[in-house]
Amino acid sequence: MNDMRKISHSVYKEKLPENPQTFTQKLRWKMKHDRRPILTLTADKYQVTRYLEERGFGNLLKKLYFVTDKPDEIPFDALPDRYVIKSNHNSGDVIIIDNNFDLVSKAPVGREEIISRCYNFLHKRHFNELNEWAYQNIKPLILIEEFLADEKGLPEVDYKFLCFGGKPKIVEVIENRFSDFTDSYFDMSWKPLHFTWSDWPGEKGAPAGQNVQKPSNFDEMKEIAEALSRPFDFVRVDLYNVSGKIYFGEFTHYPAAGIGEIEPKSFDSYIGKMWTLPDRDDVRDNSFVSRLKEKFVFFRRYYAYAITWMIP
């Protein structure tokens, strides 16, 4: 808790450079200034499905079994043996069920516990902690969707494309997420990029995998990432590749909430050069009501964290 207090305090009092250069600086600039509604629409893991369908990408979607804001109504008897439960408005709230075993917590889980955890998911407000504005106006829901697995029945590899100005530039490849987790980075020619990226300050990111294979349909994945990223100056497009079929994972606007550490630091600058920020007046909501509301929310949060800071 103390770590979160310190981090939140530093975020709220932070003064960004006038001309951000590194990726982290530019990401924090985006979190502070960019108020385009498309960020909220595409951060919402439920509404984004309609967004994709309307734009001809419905073929990329996983099966959606159930949506609710009342976890007591989850139809457990109608669900397959393997499925994924997650919230639509938060990051990291996920339960992955494999025959009554949760692969995330690595423990058996019963229906009552699932229901209880889902209610906890619904009560969280992700945007409060680190100013991830895009999540602020998302109506909380619980989604239950298809479990994607490879030929051996194992969870699929994640391919996360960092896209700038509608062009994928770097792909992050996550393997063995629930065992010997590895996190590798490549350019679009599949040349390894030797850096790590943590989720938390003061920590080192996971090591790169060994002999990570380029998918045979990597060019198709790049084309999809490019098409999906066109409306954004920066977005991470997360995809899966199951036996040659490509699935959409999510849009990520704030990787590691802007607090993860990229090592060596030179790569923070290297990635930052790929990103051309928009004009601030083009992405802010400059209406008087919006600016007044934003200042009120800012001071309310800052006051709340200042109070918690004084609590031992």
**Residues 190 and 273 grouped into a single domain:** yes
**Residues 96 and 244 grouped into a single domain:** no
Is pLDDT above 80 for 5?
Answer: no
Average pLDDT for 259-270: 96
Residue 305 lies in a domain: no
**Residues 142 and 157 grouped into a single domain:** no
Given 129, 148, 167, the domain boundary residue is 148
Residue 288 lies in a domain: no
**Residues 137 and 266 grouped into a single domain:** no
Residue 97 lies in a domain: yes
**Residues 84 and 10 grouped into a single domain:** no
Residues in the chain: 312
**Residues 246 and 98 grouped into a single domain:** no
Q: Is there a cis peptide before residue 264, judged by omega within 30 degrees of 0?
A: yes
**Residues 214 and 162 grouped into a single domain:** yes
**Residues 264 and 166 grouped into a single domain:** yes
pTM of the predicted structure, to 2 decimals: 0.89
**Residues 223 and 246 grouped into a single domain:** yes
Q: Which amino acid is at 229?
A: S
Residue 264 confidence (pLDDT): 97
Number of structural domains (the chain) is: 2
Domain of residue 251 covers 1-33+153-278
**Residues 143 and 116 grouped into a single domain:** yes
Residue 308 lies in a domain: no
Given 99, 132, 148, the domain boundary residue is 148
The predicted-structure confidence for 154-200, as pLDDT tens digits, reads as follows 788 999 999 999 999 999 999 988 888 999 999 999 999 999 999 98
Distance separating alpha carbons of residues 227 and 57, to the nearest angstrom = 10
**Residues 249 and 272 grouped into a single domain:** yes
Residue 1 confidence (pLDDT): 39
Residue 311 lies in a domain: no
Residue 62 confidence (pLDDT): 97
Out of 168-177, 258-267, 269-278, 296-305, pick the least confident.
296-305
Residue 9 confidence (pLDDT): 52
**Residues 138 and 235 grouped into a single domain:** no
